[in-house]
Amino acid sequence: MVQYSDIKKNNLPLVSTITPVLNGSKYIAENLKSIKKQSYPSIEIIVVDNFSTDNTVSIAKKYTSHVYKKGPERASQDNYGVQKAKGKYIFITGCDMVLDKDYIKQCVAKCEEEGFDAIYASVRSKTVNFWSKVKGMERDMYIGDDLIESARFFKRDVFLKLGGYDTTMVIQSDDFDMQRRMNNAGYKTGRVSAVETHIDEIDSLKEIFAKSFYYGMNSWIYIKRNPKYAAKQLMPIRQAFIRNYRMLLQNPLLSIGLVLFKVVQYGSASIGLLMGIVDSKKLSDYFHSKIYAKGKTRKK
């Protein structure tokens, strides 16, 4: 557990939180409330909207005056938010994420007191049905896994020195790519005990198929650049499953669900990857519109 030292309040480094969003009206208030309720007082809240067609922007403006518009994808929104940020540190969250109360306090303490340049993001799930429980168990197994988790709390100057997220990549690949570049450049990434909770979890095999197909289509660039590393990250049978085998044995029904989940996920992603190799942009745009239609959120 990180011990937070008694830094004088007027010397607290500013943290800029950045929430990219597209049609996230259902959950964005919960994300921004959790930021407002942080035990760390020196926070600047930034929202970057991708031209939502619902009332996302009007909700966001109730919590911050720093609401901007930028597209076409999350990486571009994140980079734009970092450009607007004034903080020494930046934290990139999701509109459907709720932060533990001490999340930012722990991250700042870890960096200020131990010299880390970034902090890994660990995520748990809000479980409301069978498939969310399956995904929740999988997320729990990944906590503490450097191969799967990536940083989203950074020193702003480090993020900028690395050129920000690669805007040719889509969700998850951009995180993996940034973490890989940080590691190669010799920057240090630490961990805290606080987590984010994903409150809009996958709730059907149909949704798993659509998301996996879309992500598969947009993974080819990352795989080409990092073939050996990507092979380890994208293996269907991961070390995290072996390391947490007791969790699987204690939850046999969820374990069966996880197997089915992975069959659909990897089958769909593989087909999507083939489409991505032949660069079928129209098909990619179609799945993007289905996933991020009005009332849907930008899932992490």
* 300: in domain: no
Distance CA 181, CA 13 (A): 25
pLDDT in tens, 176-186: 999 999 999 99
Structurally, the chain folds into a number of domains equal to 1
* 298: in domain: no
The pair phi, psi for residue 47, each rounded to 5°, is -120, 130
Residue identified by tokens 């950045």 is 18
User: Where residue 83 sits, what CATH number does that domain have?
Assistant: 3.90.550.10
pLDDT in tens, 262-290: 999 999 988 888 877 776 555 555 555 55
* 5: in domain: no
Dig out the tokens for 126 from the structure: 């809000």
* 173: in domain: yes
* 134: in domain: yes
Closest CA to 183 of 136, 147, 233: 147
The pLDDT assigned to 288 comes to: 53
| pLDDT band, very low/low/confident/very high, at 298 (cuts 50, 70, 90) | very low
Q: Domain range spanning residue 32?
A: 13-291
